[in-house]
Amino acid sequence: MKKEFPFNTQNFNITIRNNQYEIDVTSIASESIGKLVEWLPNDMELEFYDYQGHEYQSDRDGSYIDVQRYENGYAFKGGNHGRSSGWKRISKPQLMEFIMHNIKQKDAFIRVSPIVRKVDDWDESYLKDIK
């Protein structure tokens, strides 16, 4: 099912492939990142690459970050090469800063796709707040 963006997307390009949105980040503004984060439906997750993955106990080469809505905010986890940081809570301002920092990189991307595995009760006991 195609999810419509409820805001103006003229400031960036979106390609739809295999039921996922690939967002061209070369000229995306921080206000568009905020709207994208607010728009994120409960059944979709946002993915981008963290070029400093070691900050979130993933892989020193960086990590793929998955973000989902969780309770009244967001949760994310990082993973690469079979390792995962586990889910962590993150606020909208922290998430926006995290995304903006990483989309300045040469091969940066943002992808929004259906959730493969949702944060659940099992994860909740391990869910940590980031500092």
Q: pLDDT over 90 for what percent of the chain?
A: 24
Instruction: Give the integer Cα–Cα distance in Å for 66 and 75.
Output: 8
The number of beta carbons lying within 10 Å of the beta carbon of residue 73 is 12
User: Of 121, 122, 117, 127, whose CA–CA distance to 43 is shortest?
Assistant: 117
Structure confidence at residue 31 (pLDDT): 80
Predicted pLDDT of residue 65: 92
3-class SS at 84?
strand
Q: What is the pLDDT at residue 1? A: 42
Tens digit of each residue's pLDDT, the chain (131 residues):
455 655 556 666 788 888 888 888 877 777 888 888 998 999 999 999 988 764 555 446 788 899 999 888 999 988 887 777 778 889 999 999 999 988 888 788 899 999 887 776 555 555 555 54
**Residues 36, 96: Cα–Cα separation, whole Å:** 10
CA distance 29 to 42: 23
Q: Is the pTM of this model over 0.85?
A: no
- In angstroms, rounded to a whole number, what is the distance separating the alpha carbons of residues 59 and 79? 7
Confidence at residue 51, expressed as pLDDT on a 0 to 100 scale: 83
Residue 23 pairs in a beta bridge with 14, 110
**How high is the pLDDT of residue 25?**
82
pLDDT, one tens digit per residue, over 87-100 is: 888 999 999 999 99
